Structure 1
Amino acid sequence: MHWTPLLVLPDGARVSTARLPIGSTTIAVDDKQVLDFQALEQTAGLVLAAVGTPYEHENPVPKYAVVELSLPDGSNLTAADGGTSQSPSDAWAAIYALWTLFHEQEHIPITFSSAFNAKTRVELEEYVLLSGLARRALDPFVPHLFLERSTFWQGSGQGPLWDVVSRSWLQSTRAFRAASFPSSPSFTRTPTVIAAHPLRPPKPSPGECVYKRYCAPVSRTLALHALDVGDDAHMDAFHRFMNDELVNKGWGEAGSEEKHRAYAQAVWEDPHVLPVMMSWDGELMGYVEFTWIREDHVATYIPGGPLDYDRGLHALIGEKKFRGGLFSQCWMRSINHYMYLADPRTQRTFAEPKSQNKAMIHACSHADMLQETSFYFPYKHSVLVIGHRERFFKSDRLT
């Protein structure tokens, strides 16, 4: 068989596909075939609001080819005695492959072939339905399940509950909880902020990887590591970035190593900021500060005021070869992806670049962060851009 590389999972496993003589396609994780699929001539659409109306059968909802899933030839899952279970980790990887191939669709209607024994089929159905990777149609007479693009990219099917951790985009085990970090009142008082807000969860350990995702447009894996002031590699890169002429125009923090170490330490100790180093395939190339907006000085300028779980970002790219183009699109979309994954209650993301920073404003637009207004800080004229969870996950931004 001729194998075509498709993507790289966060744990380093490589997913590839191959066309089979019978007309279907097989999906492999490293050297293990995990699932076969083929598009049928039958189509189906996930009809919601039109069910029970005169438009139930004639409506604008797109219809897509039903995808039949089957087990690879020779799989021990087809044993007459029920076979062994297919791991959720492999199932999630196969669904990742499907969404890479069918990324322009909002849904993938799926059906299971007769090759599935009852035990394996029930387990897979429970996994995709209980995790939110798929849903049933509202019409009980529609037999297909519908994989949902928006729920997949929101992290459905990942975490310890499903034993899918090392392959998850969120890499920190602290990020996975049975429920969201509880809401408890807290308060911030600084020279620029007076705010009541929810208590924020503890930060990851310094140097800990918090997010990792393969970005197909640049054929590289982006990783986010919590800034480690005690790591020479982090601080050497941070110092070099801040003294870059272009970076300094936006940040104004050029200076000595001592100045930059003090700056980084102060940011790390600020409970409302998570400082992160960005890398492509392990090569450090940028820096991001993730903020909680309610306790940030920008909160005053937000029309209508901030919500409890709004997140903000300040970002820079210190390595010239990674500026602009597809690299810019990929890292900006990824850091927004991280913010939405980190807490499901985050509905909006914000940035307030200088109005002259056209490159940053353009990069934000590629992540569906659109200009809302502009305002004057005491020290700069800023453009306020806002991203919305629903808009971000409904669009095809992460393939």
Structure 2
Amino acid sequence: MPDLNDLTALALPTGSRLVAEESENRLSLSLDAQPLITLRLTREPELQVRVEARLDTQALWAACYWLFARDPACQHLAWHLDEAPVEALLSGLLIPNETAGQYRCERALFWQLPQPWLGASMTGSYPQQRVISGGKRHPLRPVKPRGEVYRRFDARLGAWISLRTVDIDLDLARFNRWQNSARVASFWQEEGSLEQHREYLGKLEADPHTVTLIGCFDDQPFAYFEAYWAKEDRIAPFYEAGDYDRGIHMLVGEENHRGPHKVASWLSALTHYLFLDDPRTQRVVAEPRADNAKMIGYMQGQRFHCEKEFDFPHKRAALMVLGRERFFERCGLA
């Protein structure tokens, strides 16, 4: 039997709550205290799932979510269904086996489905048109989002991880405090006054290639992130940037949210958001200082690799790269 965690309930971004009663061979799920689905489980040679009643796509999705969160090492679910689940097949939630009535849910596909984690986003369906800005030819970018863009309950931490766009009036004081801390300043080198930081954030707000984000645990801000389109960024001359590659700058401001377990949560959430935001994004990149061994180690722990070191005018940088296939292969989200 696999090494299962002690999960008994999962909260969804919609506000609903998924609760389970599970034994070795049986799983019953309820949603908001209403029975949702009952399954019979066979765990060898892989997890086989049989349904004891007719199910809809919502119930099927919820069962897949529960089983993947319950066992982060589980990569496949084998479903036995009397009727073809048309909607689930069209979305990619399930794919057919060669044997009639048998279907698979693949972890690598499940975590690429954007809902319910992603906020309202037009990026993924935004049409492509080539434009030139700043001497660089790249796809026209969509209007930047506002408000919350990503939310997921981290089953390992037992906490919500969410991302929202920066509100300068709301976030200026904390951004100023974070940037003026000695730890952050040693890497960002952006110490300054409130007005200087208002100008800094204002320039980025007006820049179509960068989205500024606040990371929250249980809705409490703890970090600042910049997500940018690499093609029109200063990093582009240093590697073969794809049209939809995204890059990230990262700052954890609150001391009580530092540490490997927290990094694993927010870094995986940040990269998950960027891969969901546009399915054409094939890589997420970053360029921490080459001597920032701690951050580089954290990123390698989340499957980034160091492609090379290179020289920006202001620093020696490590080019850290995470490919879409590598992120979703054996995806560690729970």
TM-score range (shorter-chain normalised) is over 0.9
- Report the equivalent of 1:152: 110
**Aligned: 1:181 with 2:139:** no
> Which moves more between the two structures, 265-274 or 31-40?
31-40
- Report the equivalent of 2:221: 284
- Report the equivalent of 1:127: 87
Deviations 1:209-233 (A, max 9, x none): 0000111221111111111113x2x
Determine the C-alpha separation between the residues in 1 that align with 2:25 and 2:233: 56
Secondary structure in structure 1 of the residue aligned to 2:251: strand
Secondary structure in structure 2 of the residue aligned to 1:266: helix
- Report the equivalent of 1:296: 233
Determine the C-alpha separation between the residues in 2 that align with 1:4 and 1:350: 33
**Aligned: 1:383 with 2:332:** no
Q: Sequence identity of aligned pairs in percent?
A: 31
Contact 1:103 1:149 in 2 (8 A): no
**Aligned: 1:237 with 2:167:** no
Which of the numbers 196, 209, 231 marks the counterpart of 2:137?
196
Segments of 5+ residues of structure 2 without an aligned counterpart are 1-5
Determine the C-alpha separation between the residues in 2 that align with 1:210 and 1:262: 24
* Moved beyond 4 Å, runs of 4+: none
Question: What is the correspondence of 1:322-333 to structure 2 with a 5 Å cutoff?
Answer: 322-333=257-268
Determine the C-alpha separation between the residues in 1 that align with 2:175 and 2:62: 35
CA deviation after TM superposition for structure 1 residue 40, in Å: 2.7
**Aligned: 1:170 with 2:128:** no
- Report the equivalent of 1:101: 70
- Shift in CA distance, 290/4, structure 1 to aligned 2, threshold 3 Å: closer
Deviations 1:47-94 (A, max 9, x none): xxxxxxxxxxxxxxxx513211224xxxxx6xxxxxxxx654444223
Determine the C-alpha separation between the residues in 1 that align with 2:302 and 2:111: 14
CA deviation after TM superposition for structure 1 residue 106, in Å: 2.0
- State the AA in 1 paired with 2:178: F
CA deviation after TM superposition for structure 1 residue 103, in Å: 3.1
State the structure with bigger RCO (CA 8 A, min sep 6), 1 or 2: 2
- State the AA in 2 paired with 1:40: T
**Aligned: 1:223 with 2:158:** no
CA deviation after TM superposition for structure 1 residue 4, in Å: 5.8
CA deviation after TM superposition for structure 1 residue 241, in Å: 1.2
> Which moves more between the two structures, 355-364 or 272-281?
355-364
Contact 1:371 1:386 in 2 (8 A): yes
- State the AA in 1 paired with 2:49: V
What CA RMSD, in Å, does the superposition of the two structures yield over aligned residues? Answer: 2.0
Segments of 5+ residues of structure 1 without an aligned counterpart are 44-62, 72-76, 78-85, 114-120, 159-167
- Report the equivalent of 1:316: 251
- Report the equivalent of 2:305: 370
- Shift in CA distance, 270/4, structure 1 to aligned 2, threshold 3 Å: closer
Contact 1:34 1:91 in 2 (8 A): no
Determine the C-alpha separation between the residues in 2 that align with 1:359 and 1:217: 22
TM-score of the superposition, structure 2-length normalised?
Answer: 0.93
Contact 1:242 1:251 in 2 (8 A): yes
- Shift in CA distance, 94/23, structure 1 to aligned 2, threshold 3 Å: closer
**Aligned: 1:341 with 2:298:** no
Secondary structure in structure 2 of the residue aligned to 1:217: coil
Deviations 1:300-335 (A, max 9, x none): 111xx1111111000110001111221011100110
Secondary structure in structure 2 of the residue aligned to 1:254: coil
Deviations 1:115-152 (A, max 9, x none): xxxxxx45xx1121111011012x3x354100111111
- Shift in CA distance, 23/388, structure 1 to aligned 2, threshold 3 Å: closer
Number of matched pairs = 329
